[in-house]
Amino acid sequence: MSQADVAVAEGAAGVGGAAGTAVRPSPLWTLGLLRSELVTTLRRWRTLALLGVLAAVPILVGISVKIETSGDGQAGRGGGGGPAFISQITNNGLFLVFTALAATLPFFLPMAVGVVAGDAIAGEANAGTLRYLLVAPAGRTRLLLTKYATTMAFCLLATLVVAASALAVGALLFPLGGLTTISGTQISFTEGLGRALLIALVVAASLTGIAALGLFVSTLTNSGIAAMATTVGLLITVQILDQIPQLHALQPYFFSHYWLSFADLMRDPVYWDDLVKNLELQTLYAAVFGSAAWARFTTKDITA
């Protein structure tokens, strides 16, 4: 807490100093702005609660698999249902990382990102702090970029929280060691760990699309709640539409369509086709809704 306070104070000092000496803000100024945004976002109780919920998911999965299999040492026997990789957890705790990400990616992670992104501009407007932010010579574009960067940092942090929590629980409850890829080949534990990290990065990158979408929605309204609800509502709508077979022609353009392609990283050799499509799609969403947010935010009247 006190550390964070110091950070804010430093940030504020940086702002004051830069504004005093130069009209054109220096790049350092942007870093200061980013840092103060990050600290403000991460200090919010709701952010911490979201991260807590995300960290709890792997604990829940790990404990239930442990209880379920304490008798015969077999998970998902015969059925093969549940999130991807769940039947391999008992062999190797590292698989809990993949299972946890597969379980949280369809809903929990994007919901958390939607809350943070939707709140980014509309929340400030709602609290009446947006105009004060704009009084400082930052410029709207710079502020928007900072907000987006903060949201992206949250995407990464949220994913890493899930992965780290899953790794800790997996190491506590299950054996670790060399693992079998889903293609049946063996890789060492170090390589498995490397792939886990890569998967976490891919999952974080998968969220950039909805982050940009949330930011755009956030510039449309002055109500933080409305922006969050719209973003999460869009997420659910798209997830439902993605399940309707008649819409298969449209589905490759839904931002959530290739999300679970991260599992392809566990094949040997890695199957890149869908992974690349996913990253291209996320870039496209980020470009379209990022620029739409910019067009909206730089031209709208700030009344709050």
Which one of the spans 36-44, 119-127, 197-205, 294-302 is the region binding another protein (CB under 8 A)? Answer: 294-302
Work out whether 71 is an interface residue with another protein (CB under 8 A).
Answer: no
| 163 is an interface residue for another protein by CB under 8 A | no
Nearest in space to 108 (alpha carbons), one of 43, 36, 165:
165
Residue choice 85, 154, 254, 255 for contact with another protein (CB under 8 A): 85
Applying CB under 8 A, which of residues 111, 125, 204, 263 lies at the interface with another protein?
Answer: 263
Query: Shortest approach of another protein to residue 301 CB, angstroms?
Result: 10
Confirm or reject binding of residue 78 to another protein (CB under 8 A).
yes
What single DSSP character describes residue 186? E
Q: What angle do CA 281, 285, 287 make, to 5 degrees?
A: 115
CA 142 to chain CA mean position, Å: 22
Q: Does residue 299 touch another protein according to CB under 8 A?
A: yes
Q: What is the smallest separation between the CB atom of 110 and another protein, expressed in angstroms?
A: 18
Minimum distance, C-beta of residue 6 to another protein, in the bound complex (Å): 39
The answer to whether 100 and 163 are in contact (CB under 8 A) is: yes
With respect to another protein, which residue has the nearer C-beta, 49 or 276? 276
With CB under 8 A as the contact rule, the residue among 91, 221, 239, 251 that binds another protein is: 91
> Can residue 175 be called a binding residue for another protein (CB under 8 A)?
yes
28-57: contacts with another protein (CB under 8 A): none
| Binding piece for another protein, criterion CB under 8 A, among 14-22, 31-39, 221-229, 264-272 | 264-272
Residue 301: CB atoms within 10 A of its CB come to 5
The sign of the torsion formed by the CA atoms of 4, 169, 239, 194 equals: positive
> Angle at CA 102, nearest 5°, toward 78 and 178?
75
Helix axes 108-127, 95-104, angle to 10 degrees: 50
- Figure out which of the listed residues 153, 288, 302, 304 binds another protein, where binding follows CB under 8 A: 288
Structure tokens at 56: 């709890």
Q: Does 27 bind another protein (CB under 8 A)?
A: no
Binding mask 185-214 for another protein (x = CB under 8 A): xx----------------------------
CA angle, 125 then 220 then 284, to 5°: 120
Tokens of 250: 């449209």
- Could you give the CA distance from residue 133 to residue 33 in angstroms, rounded to a whole number? 10
Tokens of 217: 């929605």
Candidates 1-9, 129-137, 218-226, 262-270; binding stretch for another protein (CB under 8 A): 262-270
Angle between helices 208-220 and 189-206 (to 10 degrees): 20
* SS3 of the chain: helix, strand, coil, percent, to 5: 75, 0, 25
Closer of 64 and 183 to another protein (Cβ): 183
Which parts of this chain interact with another protein (CB under 8 A)? 73-80, 83-85, 87-88, 90-92, 102, 175, 179-180, 182-186, 260, 263, 267-269, 271, 273, 284, 287-289, 291-292, 294-295, 298-299
